[in-house]
Amino acid sequence: MTTAAPLECKQEAGVFAPVINRNRCEGKEDCVRVCPYNVFEIATLSVEQRRALPFGSRIKAWAHRNRQAFAVRADDCHACGLCVAACPEHAITLHRVSAS
């Protein structure tokens, strides 16, 4: 699910979680800044994560010091959609992870 920019949280925590497209993320931190639940951190891609990228994405990641966003507290996501709207690379989508 991809959302626009709703003004309030839509769900209880744990129903939706953000998924970051590793081919798009440039680690610009907009998601870190806007998330009201502190879901994201910026970290360095592991060697395995870099190897899993297609060649073009590996070069792009290298150009950004292999720094990308990680949803380290995805269980706290309330599906407000602020991160989806804020990401300049359109790298974040929300996915349902629970039926409740």
- Residues with Cβ within 8 Å of residue 99, at least 6 apart in sequence: none
Nearest to 49, CA basis, from 22, 25, 73: 22
Question: How far is Cα 100 from Cα 78, in angstroms, rounded to an integer?
Answer: 12
Is 87 a binding residue for ligand SF4 by CB under 6 A? The answer is no
Is 80 a binding residue for ligand SF4 by CB under 6 A? The answer is yes
Neighbours of 81 (CB within 10 A): 23
- Binding region for ligand SF4 (CB under 6 A) out of 19-27, 50-58, 61-69, 80-88: 80-88
Q: Binding mask 17-46 vs ligand SF4 (x if CB under 6 A, - otherwise)?
A: -x---------------xxxx-x-------
Residues at the site binding ligand SF4, with contacts judged by CB under 6 A? 18, 34-37, 39, 77-83, 94
